[in-house]
């Protein structure tokens, strides 16, 4: 952050209310025009841009969540599909479920509409999307059967029954390996063909919980049918369990099924992506990863937790939320940091947050107070645009009244020019 204002030329002001811009505080010197008229238009421009950006992001989230719901309503399995929205345009990738082609996907989504305005404008199926390996190839036309024989056959020469014998794949699948993750430990049970396969799975589990919390009860049996490729996919799936709160994976002769819970929708995506590899090896997958409701916390507990997270972000805040001289514009790095503040406030929805703006001692006290208030207002405006309720936020400009360190050096001035977040139970 650079210099906050010009040299002190204003007469001393005995007391200024931190929440109120007093007209008497705007006179920076005789004949000087108040600075706020030109600051207000600058404030409006980033707010308009932020509103547009937030609206687009909101629509994209709606499109990405609506598309799989529409397909499931049409009876289409979405566990192998991926969805990526760019405004209202949707791109579908992944692996097609058995019996469904790309045209059917496009038909269902292309006819969709949404009452909240996030309708899907266009649907594109990426070139790499493939059919499920378990889906049979289209068979040629059935040949016309020969006419029945007119020759009489004696009773002991009757043809055998024509009931078709089920193919081997239609047999009931046999469970080979079960993996249970309870949030703290991983248990491995079942059979593998080699000791190396057992170690591979145990190593993957150790990446999630540490080697001391892995219970490996796998039995080595050279006749175990699971191939090394399928075991590698299972191992990769296990490594994603750290994103979940609990999970269970079952590898059978035909399937790799995963059930579990996640803290949010995004936390499920690494596991879903890993299961795409299983489908590529001919395994069917049945995934049931549910987003769980968070355990209720008291207001005091949430305030303490949010305050801890905000203090942990303070170094990043000081590094990224910086302003050029007399500016209130937020840069890209500042927005990335503020999005982390948004995420924290969403996790703890009860506390309120004070956004405090601070300056160094360069310039007049009235100007610095005004400038710090305007910058705090800009930060609050961004948080509101990202969906944080306005009644959970207050902006206060403290000017130079709360210096952290000696302000006589340039490093000290940089440290004093800052924005701070304070979690509170109430204002």
DSSP per-residue codes, 141-200? PPPPPPPPP-S---GGGPPPP-PPPPPGGGSPPPEEEEEEE-SS-EEEEEEESSHHHHHH
pLDDT tens figures, 109-155? 876 544 344 456 555 555 445 555 444 444 444 444 444 444 443 33
Residue 392 has pLDDT above 80, yes or no: yes
Average pLDDT over residues 378-393: 92
Q: How many CA atoms lie within 13 A of 237 on its CB side?
A: 30
Residue 262 has pLDDT above 70, yes or no: yes
pLDDT band at 291 (very low <50, low <70, confident <90, very high): confident
Residue 182 has pLDDT above 80, yes or no: yes
Between 370 and 3, whose confidence is greater? 370
β-pairing verdict for 186-192 and 175-181: antiparallel
Token pair, residue 128, equals: 């790499």
pLDDT band at 345 (very low <50, low <70, confident <90, very high): very high
DSSP of 63-79: HHHHHHHHHHHTT---T
pLDDT tens figures, 61-91? 677 778 888 888 888 888 778 777 665 677 7
pLDDT at 237: 96
Rounded-to-integer distance, Cα 327 and Cα 374, Å: 9
Of all residues in the chain, the percent with pLDDT exceeding 70 is 69
Between 110 and 348, whose confidence is greater? 348
Q: What is the pTM of this model?
A: 0.38
pLDDT at 141: 44
DSSP of 30-67: TTPPPSHHHHHHHHHHHHHHHHHHHHHHHHHHHHHHHH
Which H helix or E strand runs over 357? strand 352-358
Residue 267 has pLDDT above 60, yes or no: yes
Residue 325 has pLDDT above 70, yes or no: no
pLDDT at 116: 44
pLDDT at 152: 41
254's CB contacts (< 8 A; 6+ apart) are 169, 173, 283, 284
Contact 109, 89 (CB under 8 A): no
Residue of 354, 326, 363, 350 lying closest to 419 (CA atoms): 354
Lowest-pLDDT choice from 190-199, 310-319, 410-419: 410-419
Rounded-to-integer distance, Cα 266 and Cα 26, Å: 48
**Sole residue written with tokens 């514009």:** 329
pLDDT at 158: 33
Average pLDDT over residues 24-38: 43
pLDDT band at 305 (very low <50, low <70, confident <90, very high): very high
pLDDT at 363: 86
Average pLDDT over residues 275-296: 84
Rounded-to-integer distance, Cα 48 and Cα 306, Å: 29
Cα distance from N-terminal residue to C-terminal residue, the chain: 29
pLDDT band at 416 (very low <50, low <70, confident <90, very high): confident
362's CB contacts (< 8 A; 6+ apart) are 3, 4, 5, 6, 7, 368, 413
Cα radius of gyration rounded to whole Å, the chain: 32
Average pLDDT over residues 366-370: 92
Between 227 and 325, whose confidence is greater? 227
Contact 179, 188 (CB under 8 A): yes
- DSSP-assigned beta bridge partners for residue 357: 397, 419
Between 306 and 134, whose confidence is greater? 306
Rounded-to-integer distance, Cα 15 and Cα 367, Å: 14
Average pLDDT over residues 244-273: 90
Contact 190, 251 (CB under 8 A): yes
Neighbouring CB atoms inside 10 A of 316's CB total 15
Contact 76, 105 (CB under 8 A): yes
């Amino acid at each position: 952050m650079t210099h906050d204002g010009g040299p002190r030329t204003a007469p001393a002001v005995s007391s200024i209310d931190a929440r109120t811009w007093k007209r008497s505080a705007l006179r920076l010197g005789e004949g000087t025009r108040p600075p706020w008229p030109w600051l207000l238009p600058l404030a409006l421009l980033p707010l308009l841009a932020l509103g547009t950006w937030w609206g687009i992001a909101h629509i994209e989230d709606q499109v990405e969540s609506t598309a799989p719901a529409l397909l499931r309503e049409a009876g289409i399995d979405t566990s192998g599909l991926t969805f990526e929205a760019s405004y209202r345009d949707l791109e579908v990738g992944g692996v097609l479920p058995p019996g469904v082609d790309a045209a059917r996907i496009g038909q269902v989504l292309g006819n969709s509409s949404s009452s909240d305005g996030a309708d899907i404008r266009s649907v594109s199926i990426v070139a790499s999307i493939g059919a499920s390996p378990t889906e049979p190839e289209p068979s040629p036309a059935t040949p016309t059967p020969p006419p029945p024989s007119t020759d009489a056959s004696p009773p002991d020469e009757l043809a055998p029954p024509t009931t078709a014998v089920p193919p081997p794949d239609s047999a009931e699948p046999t469970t080979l390996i079960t993996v249970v993750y309870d949030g703290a430990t991983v248990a491995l049970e079942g059979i593998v063909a080699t000791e190396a396969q057992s170690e591979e799975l145990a190593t993957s589990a150790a990446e999630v919980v540490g080697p001391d919390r892995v219970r490996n009860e796998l039995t080595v049996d050279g006749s175990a049918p699971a191939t090394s490729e399928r075991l590698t996919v299972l191992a990769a799936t296990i490594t994603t369990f750290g994103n979940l709160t609990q999970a269970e994976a079952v590898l059978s002769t035909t399937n790799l099924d995963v059930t579990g819970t996640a803290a949010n929708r995004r936390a499920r995506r690494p596991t879903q992506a890993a299961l795409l590899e299983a489908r590529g090896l001919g395994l069917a997958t049945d995934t049931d990863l549910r987003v769980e409701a968070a355990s209720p916390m008291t207001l005091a507990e949430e305030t303490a937790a949010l305050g801890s997270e905000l203090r942990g972000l303070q170094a990043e805040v000081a590094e990224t939320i910086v302003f050029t001289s007399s500016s209130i514009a937020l840069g890209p790095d500042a927005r990335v940091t503020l999005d982390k503040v948004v995420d924290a406030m969403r996790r703890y929805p009860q506390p309120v947050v004070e956004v405090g703006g601070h300056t160094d001692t360069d310039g007049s006290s009235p100007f610095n107070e005004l400038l710090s208030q305007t910058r705090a207002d800009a930060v609050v405006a961004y948080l509101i645009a990202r969906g944080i309720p306005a009644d959970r936020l207050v902006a206060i400009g403290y000017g130079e009244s709360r210096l952290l360190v000696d302000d006589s050096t340039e490093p000290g001035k940089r440290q004093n020019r800052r924005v701070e977040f304070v979690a509170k139970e109430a204002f």
